[in-house]
Structure 1
């Protein structure tokens, strides 16, 4: 008995588009793109019946791991946002599954524009729009928040602080910086605004921009109903500045952002309100980073990239202490004492790590083919992890010993003990000794993981 041929992904997309448009659509090429926190993104080169090009993007869940409800919600968000005037891709077709696609999916027209943050921050061709981009982002957020919430009633609408705390508690990994953040956020919470459609991940990297401005707002998978100022605070989180100084995506000021928002909505959040949501966003990214790393650390998914994120959690701990004004730098860790005697010849372990990292960077990376973007990306992660290992070897035990002494002064043997004391209220998050101990721990990690992240 002859088996029936399997429908390919290209054939499945062509069939869906043909049904949706009422004309024959052919697909010439399908290739996967990078990006997307949990969904696959594919670029599709299609043509209509008269031969006209039809550039399409497919978003789908990984086959076998679909969430049809979330995909339907994302589709509803795009349609509601489009009706409110938000620049978004047009939904061409969507469904719970289809032959060849084999997972919940969403097909959209492909929008031209630049999304890479570093290019948006530096490209000379974008210099004019860059001066207006923070204001444009505020205006776009205002349009999103004016969307009809009746069209997206299926979205989650729970308390965001409760939700992120629940994710953190599931790790059973008490962190003093997180406990300080949770206490501060609950002590300073601003009045709650009426619920609106919240994008949930509006930032550099999820926007398409050209010389005319914002062309598309992408990646709606974290959308929910909530306080609209959450989106503004998230955009100001230091992680989304990608190394630049200006607080809004590294390209603009908070005042510009709020000016645009007020132009769209008539609402101007206070500095205190925006600061609270920026602090919340920083804590949220801290917990979500640890959540991503857990996918690898738990054995669920082998991933070099996810593993490396585990060493970046301290960046968000540092950012959280900064935004809350709770960083108390006790000074540089003491220099490592003279090396202990060793039976091994040189190069030392640290020298070996540095040698391998330098060789990978200077000799192997340039030899990769031009089409090896993914391999280059993984190579950069490998080099970064080697550098981290080298800095940890060079640091020795002095900083850890100093931290243990500071914890001991508070009657705590471990950071977990200190986190528990902060959570219970037995120790105040603004107590000088607490701030110094927590700052010492975070700085010790950060000076090894990514010393360039430290504020000069």
Structure 2
């Protein structure tokens, strides 16, 4: 008996698009939403042509009601241009500003087989051989991207990257002294501009599909633009994209390996100081973009557990920025967490309750999620991390706030916002010892609660 489907569903919308592309009726399975996709939704599904040949596809679409059709059209153009230049990318099957059932700007692509989960690529023995040359492969593929002809990419913009990220930061109205320090340093040490090329904008482990031979696909072109090609190389070296592993390039290889591959593809090799500047810029950029993503939840535009959790991780990039610039005050010692005082309430205490719930989610509920429940596992991990963050904040007490207040007072400021304003105006030098002490205290205190392992990494 033939199955029927409710009209206007996502499944129906994809079927209609595939039927139009293939010129014949296609059997389409149930779409499955994948993890990630903080700004766009990603869905996978299995389809079959009438002759039985499989047609696995992936749909990227904007969240309905939050679409950017021009940006999606640009992404499709980048994929087609990169493919013609020899970059390994999924084949674009169809794209559009909307379609019935899809109800948002979309991009429908062939599915490329490969692993993208960072820790699997970093640790699994299956990828041991490819890890030996993956950093060089990434450099080579970036070189191919930067050699892509621009004649079909006139819709892409080219803006000053420091100015652009500062505009986003100012619009957030969330003053952060660490960002002010970074902006001063970037403008003082800027290297000469290289000729503009296609820049992927988010080339990192997690946006690559890898098998035992190497890179099979480069994904997520939504941030592609015209700019200095070394931007992509620096972004790949940002600590956030090492996912806890020590190697400087994606937690897998060395900067020299990356540049070896890049030089093989392009014939030139950026200097160490040039790469360092762009890695610093990438660190500040991720700091601002992560706060921008969190604002979509915090400002009420889009309720999202994922986006909310990103807000608590901004301090990781603050710390990384101070670290890469050598501006951390190593003499800072935070006071130990406060001992709980007497209370009318029974035990378990609130921190104990949060810890118990987190352990239950990890030990009992998580293992019960079987089969095709990848996204549920992903969301569960976020819940656990947020519960533990809340518990650490309750344990931490007010000692760090008091220490920060004293440090801010020593440079004539009442708050981090005032310190940010005075740094921006140049009223305080960004390398002043008192300034660096106050900023280091604030960032370290946030990080001790939100991500204590990052302090020790």
Secondary structure at the aligned position of 2:152 is classed as: helix
Classify 1:404/1:143 alpha carbon distance in 2 versus 1 (closer, same or farther; 3 Å). Answer: same
1:62 aligns with 2:63: yes
* Contact in 2 for aligned 1:196/1:226 (Cα 8 Å): yes
**C-alpha displacement of 1:82:** 0.7
1:6 aligns with 2:10: no
Could you say what the CA RMSD is over the residues aligned between the two structures, in angstroms?
1.7
Deviations 1:210-242 (A, max 9, x none): 011000000001100111100000000000000
* Contact in 2 for aligned 1:330/1:439 (Cα 8 Å): no
Secondary structure at the aligned position of 1:150 is classed as: coil
**C-alpha displacement of 1:310:** 1.2
TM-score normalised per structure 1: 0.95
What residue is the counterpart of 2:212 in the other structure? 211
What residue is the counterpart of 1:316 in the other structure? 317
* Contact in 1 for aligned 2:96/2:107 (Cα 8 Å): yes
* Contact in 1 for aligned 2:338/2:398 (Cα 8 Å): no
Deviations 1:9-60 (A, max 9, x none): 3333333233333344332443222232322222132222322111111222
Classify 1:412/1:53 alpha carbon distance in 2 versus 1 (closer, same or farther; 3 Å). Answer: same
What residue is the counterpart of 2:287 in the other structure? 286
1:357 aligns with 2:362: no
Query: Which consecutive residues of structure 2, in runs of 5 or more, have no partner in the other structure?
Result: 1-5
Secondary structure at the aligned position of 2:33 is classed as: strand
**C-alpha displacement of 1:375:** 3.1
Which shows bigger deviation, 63-72 or 336-345? 336-345
Secondary structure at the aligned position of 1:300 is classed as: coil
Could you tell me how far apart the structure 1 residues matched to 2:13 and 2:366 are? 37
* Contact in 1 for aligned 2:32/2:45 (Cα 8 Å): yes
Q: Which runs of 4+ in 1 moved over 6 A?
A: none
1:157 aligns with 2:158: yes
Classify 1:133/1:337 alpha carbon distance in 2 versus 1 (closer, same or farther; 3 Å). Answer: closer
**C-alpha displacement of 1:439:** 0.6
What residue is the counterpart of 1:386 in the other structure? 387
* Contact in 2 for aligned 1:36/1:219 (Cα 8 Å): no
Could you tell me how far apart the structure 2 residues matched to 1:84 and 1:97 are? 28
* Contact in 1 for aligned 2:63/2:104 (Cα 8 Å): yes
Which shows bigger deviation, 405-414 or 334-343? 334-343
Classify 1:12/1:272 alpha carbon distance in 2 versus 1 (closer, same or farther; 3 Å). Answer: same
Classify 1:47/1:378 alpha carbon distance in 2 versus 1 (closer, same or farther; 3 Å). Answer: closer
Classify 1:347/1:454 alpha carbon distance in 2 versus 1 (closer, same or farther; 3 Å). Answer: same
Query: Which consecutive residues of structure 1, in runs of 5 or more, have no partner in the other structure?
Result: none
Secondary structure at the aligned position of 1:225 is classed as: strand
Could you tell me how far apart the structure 1 residues matched to 2:454 and 2:47 are? 43
Structural mapping, 1:215-294, within 5 Å: 215-294=216-295
**C-alpha displacement of 1:336:** 4.4
Could you tell me how far apart the structure 2 residues matched to 1:413 and 1:277 are? 33
TM-score normalised per structure 2: 0.95
Which shows bigger deviation, 262-271 or 382-391? 382-391
Which shows bigger deviation, 137-146 or 32-41? 32-41
**C-alpha displacement of 1:349:** 3.1
Could you tell me how far apart the structure 1 residues matched to 2:296 and 2:195 are? 35
Classify 1:173/1:271 alpha carbon distance in 2 versus 1 (closer, same or farther; 3 Å). Answer: same
Could you tell me how far apart the structure 2 residues matched to 1:434 and 1:318 are? 15
Could you tell me how far apart the structure 2 residues matched to 1:56 and 1:340 are? 57
Structural mapping, 1:100-115, within 5 Å: 100-115=101-116
Could you tell me how far apart the structure 2 residues matched to 1:22 and 1:347 are? 64
What residue is the counterpart of 1:191 in the other structure? 192
1:44 aligns with 2:9: no
Classify 1:341/1:331 alpha carbon distance in 2 versus 1 (closer, same or farther; 3 Å). Answer: same
Equivalent pairs counted in the alignment come to: 452
Structural mapping, 1:353-432, within 5 Å: 353-432=354-433
1:342 aligns with 2:327: no
